[in-house]
Amino acid sequence: MKIKLIPVLSLAVVLMGMVSCKESKNKTETGEAEMAAESSMQATKYMVDAEASVINWEGNKPTGTHTGTVKLESGVVKVDGDSLSGSFLIDMTTITDTDLEGEQKTNLEQHLKGTVEGKEGDFFNVQKYPTAAFEITDVMEENGKKMLEGNLTIKDAKNNLSFPVTYTVEGDMMTLKSESFTIDRTKWNVNYGSKSVFDNLGDKFISDDIKLTIDIVAKRQM
């Protein structure tokens, strides 16, 4: 039996390593907030189309996955060659779940927004913090990809992070799309159900990681 178990155990170790690498591939590292990027006089300004722009999110727990969207309130991107600067406001009151229906959908959205009495601080508490913000600090090349670096403010916490993006300019329109990346929500004091913060949760925990994908459409300001 021992001889048979060795290959099985070896395979398990390999698979665990593969899963770990996959999960950490686009996981962002956070750091202290940095100075916002400055634009030159020659930079072209693009105003974000809030209706056409969206952030997709995904959260996980042992019993399943929830997906949804959140809209932008406003934003501006300034382009000067390969340099970008600018900022966005995210309308946290528009947090929407897309995998549930009816009462379950409503209950989850209200819990995430913190509009349920006694549960205001569990997640995003939109009555106190109706917007989140992102300000660009740099754009760099890393492993052949463009990485957008910026300060993300959620609730009362601000951290710097970077994630892979592509952006194109065609005529008066600009699009900026990110690859999927994950952030650790506890870095922004969103601690509800986190086993890295609370003990004895058993399988009642919620993953610290939130997967995000950003899709921004902006129009040149004449």
What is the largest distance, in Å, between two alpha-carbon atoms of the chain? 75
- What element of type H or E holds 110? helix 102-113
Q: Find where tokens 């946290």 sit.
A: 92
**In contact, 39 and 137? CB cutoff 8 Å:** no
Token pair of 189, please? 């004091």
**In contact, 163 and 28? CB cutoff 8 Å:** yes
Cross-strand partners of 57: 68, 212
- Of the candidates 105, 122, 100, the one whose C-alpha atom is nearest the C-alpha of residue 113 is 122
Domain range holding 65?
2-220
pLDDT in tens, 69-101: 999 999 999 999 889 999 999 999 999 999 999
- In this structure, what CATH number is given to the domain that contains residue 80? 2.40.128.110
Total domains in the chain come to 1
- What element of type H or E holds 22? helix 2-24
pLDDT in tens, 127-163: 999 999 999 999 999 999 999 999 999 999 999 999 9
User: Does this model's pTM top 0.75?
Assistant: yes
Taking the C-alpha atoms of residue 10 and residue 12, their distance in angstroms, rounded to an integer, is 5
